[in-house]
Amino acid sequence: MSLRSRQFANYAALLLVASAISCGGGSSSGGSQPPPTQTLVITSPSNLPGTLQNASYSYTLTAANGQGALKWSISPLPVAALFVDGLTMDANTGVLSGTANFLGVAGFTAHVSDSASHTASKQFSLAASGPLQPLQPQSFTVSQYQDVLLPVAVSGGVQPLTVSIAAGSLPAGLRLTSDEANQILIRGSSIPHGTFQATVTVQDSFSPPEVVSGLLTVIVSAPPFSVAGSLPSKLPTNRPFNGRVVAVGGVPPYHFAQSSGTRPPGLGAVDPNGGQIQGTPTTTGSYNFTVDVTDSSQPVQTASGSYSITVADPIGRNDTVAAATPLENGQITASTSPYIDPPDNAPLPADNDYYKLVSYSGATVHIETQAQRWWGDIDPIDTVLELVDGNNTRLTTCRQPNVTINTFTSACINDDIGGNPHVLDSALDFKVPGDPNTATTFYVHVLDFRGLARPEMQYALDVSGLASPLKIQPNPLPGAARTLNYWQQLSAANGLAPLSWTLASGNLPPGISIDSTGVLTGIPTTNGGYTFTVRVTDGSTPTQTATAQKSITVVDPVKITSPATWPDACLNQPYTFAVQTTGGLPPLRWNFDMGLGGIYLDPSSGVFSGTPTVAGTFSGTVSLSDETGYFVTQTITLTIKQCP
């Protein structure tokens, strides 16, 4: 139904209701009510498509829930910012057009009103770039099996940029990709060594698109002769183990020999030709040993590897969604090691690792595995990456590696980046689903394609782009003292300013209130324990909301009730005096600022004790504080005298 038809229908319904009332036809509460008027809102995205400087531009802003004709206008942002010079708004159509006479990211506020005098406003940003510049020849030198993240210098052009290889190739294990800032990157870990050249084509998003090409050279050098840290640092008792000392670089074949230290009981000697160590650890404890490796070069090279292994009773692993390991942005190192799973049965031929991630809906999360490779090792782990929900069902809002278009319709599974079977890494870009203003939990599943994983076959798992949801800090609130001023600031993480706080449910202590800035303040009037829920809303679009339960205990103010003049003490005789109090919220904390000639304070109990060694009359100040933060003082006097 059109807007005009809906208005006519609503008007007709109102006339019928009015007629029924005037004719005594019954109560108006029994008839249908017209739907509530919805709020006028600008629906265009805040970040508008970019353009080139001094190029023509046109974009139509849209709004919803307006009544009748709309009127549009724009104004500069309220803070100092670049304005969209050269662009004007058509008041009747909402078309922003003209020539972009600015360079960089500019902003403006759009205003719209309808025939019913409803208004709405929204801030926008628009980037104007310089022309896409020719791609200059670029050269990179890396080490074989080294994890790299190399920026390719690209200047100008309308974002986002897309990149592809027109001729030649990068070394296997390296690929072209882009980060959240749309920077072109060479990423991965090279499997072969040598010199590789690729002609790269970059295309921007202007219409028609600008296209440039350039030559990239990657020089991969072989690593020096060394012994890798290929053995795990932990092993379970009574589980078969088959690992290997790995030599890197040099000239194979190698010769292996343990030169010092003690292996875990149950592990056999190092195989002199292959470096294998196998057996079943039997005794818990920490063990350290060194293995020397010589190569076949002339003259012979020697390298050593030191290993520290702790043997402990098995505790299982993150092999199910229910036991997934929580992760945030960053990198971890792990291994799909069959020897440890399941903890109470024989080892399985393969393993599954699950990791739990939480992100705000709409975020783009990049997840990638990087298999750890050793020089000359032709069979490292071949990781497969899958994203699943809490029921272990594969998700479907992914983008495969090297795909730069902004669509996320692929099944969330990847083996071998770029479809190259010699590339053993996996990666996915994941668009977090869910309703606006929601936190979504999903799971990363890593497994070995061949099912031949060994403990020394490690992989790195990279996670970036998680947009952590707004959350209220879990800090407990201090107690309050009845009849005394109370002030406490609530805090939240990850939200965009401004934050707005309210009481969601429950009861604050009588006399205490919460304001929109999250400050709890007032003078409590009634003792007791009060539990309540606070809500915070941030300034993002759409807004995020978080709630948390808090509690405040109200008690009588702490007081010192002992007399200010203490009982006399006798010289060289034991003395004890406990300061008496009322009220307060434990624990109580005591302090005393003067000496009493051999009598000392226990700061946790308020008891003074000891054997005085000096006669005389002493004064000092006792101070007492509690968990409400309130403190009191008392000036006391003690006489130490010579007793019979």
Q: Name the residue among 366, 544, 322 with its Cα closest to residue 463.
A: 366
Pairing mode, strands 194-203 and 519-522: unpaired
Checking if the pLDDT of 1 tops 70, the result is: no
What pLDDT score was predicted for residue 341? 40
Checking if the pLDDT of 319 tops 60, the result is: yes
Buried b (16+ CB within 10 A) or exposed e, 394-403: ebebbbbbbe
Give the pLDDT confidence of 100-130 residue by residue, as tens digits.
999 988 989 999 999 999 999 998 989 899 9
Q: Name the residue among 603, 606, 595 with its Cα closest to residue 560.
A: 606
Give the pLDDT confidence of 386-435 residue by residue, as tens digits.
999 999 999 999 988 877 677 899 999 988 775 554 456 888 999 998 87
Q: What is the chain's mean pLDDT, rounded?
A: 83
Strand partners, 589: 625
The answer regarding whether domain 41-129 maps to CATH 1.10.1380.10 reads no
Residue pair 283/237 in contact by the 8 Å Cβ criterion: yes
- Average pLDDT for residues 458-485, to the nearest whole number? 86
Could you tell me the residue ranges of all domains in the chain? 41-129, 138-221, 226-312, 325-460, 471-555, 559-641
Checking if the pLDDT of 225 tops 60, the result is: yes
Residue count of the chain, please give it: 644
Superfamily of domain 138-221: Immunoglobulins (2.60.40.10)
What pLDDT score was predicted for residue 346? 43
Rounded Cα distance, 47 and 321, in Å: 37
Instruction: Return the ∠ at Cα 248 (arms to 247 and 253), rounded to 5°.
Output: 55
Contacts of 29 by beta carbon, 8 Å cutoff, 6+ apart: none
Domains 226-312 and 471-555 are alike in CATH topology: yes
What pLDDT score was predicted for residue 469? 76
Buried b (16+ CB within 10 A) or exposed e, 501-525: beeeeeebbebbebeeebebebebe
Checking if the pLDDT of 336 tops 70, the result is: no
Give the pLDDT confidence of 229-252 residue by residue, as tens digits.
878 888 878 888 888 898 888 888
Q: Name the residue among 394, 372, 373, 381 with its Cα closest to residue 444.
A: 394
What pLDDT score was predicted for residue 308? 92
Query: Tokens representing 81?
Result: 């910012």
Three-state DSSP at 11 gives helix
Which helix (H) or strand (E) is 294 found in, with range?
strand 285-294
What pLDDT score was predicted for residue 22? 34
DSSP string, 318-387: --SSTTPEE--SEEEEEE--GGGSSTTSPPPS--EEEEEEEEETT-EEEEEEEE---TT-S----EEEEE
Rounded Cα distance, 235 and 527, in Å: 55
Contacts of 307 by beta carbon, 8 Å cutoff, 6+ apart: 229, 231, 245, 261, 288, 289, 290, 291
**CATH for the stretch 471-555:** 2.60.40.10
Which CATH number does the domain 325-460 belong to among 3.40.50.720, 3.40.47.10, 2.60.120.380, 3.30.450.40? 2.60.120.380
Rounded Cα distance, 439 and 358, in Å: 7
Query: Tokens representing 612?
Result: 């005085």
Q: Is the peptide bond before 342 cis (omega within 30 degrees of 0)?
A: yes
What pLDDT score was predicted for residue 39? 86
Rounded Cα distance, 367 and 365, in Å: 6
Three-state DSSP at 393 gives coil
Residue pair 192/172 in contact by the 8 Å Cβ criterion: yes
Three-state DSSP at 15 gives helix
Residue pair 387/398 in contact by the 8 Å Cβ criterion: yes
Checking if the pLDDT of 15 tops 50, the result is: no
Three-state DSSP at 18 gives helix
Three-state DSSP at 211 gives strand
The 10 Å Cβ neighbour count of residue 230 is 22
Rounded Cα distance, 541 and 437, in Å: 9
Strand partners, 370: 460
Any idea which architecture 226-312 has in CATH?
A: Sandwich (2.60)
CA distances from 63 to 44, 57, 71, 118, 410 (A): 7, 20, 11, 12, 32
Give the pLDDT confidence of 574-587 residue by residue, as tens digits.
999 999 999 999 99
The larger pLDDT score, comparing residue 495 to residue 588, is at 588
| Fold (topology level) of 559-641 | Immunoglobulin-like (2.60.40)
Three-state DSSP at 21 gives helix
Q: Is the peptide bond before 45 cis (omega within 30 degrees of 0)?
A: no
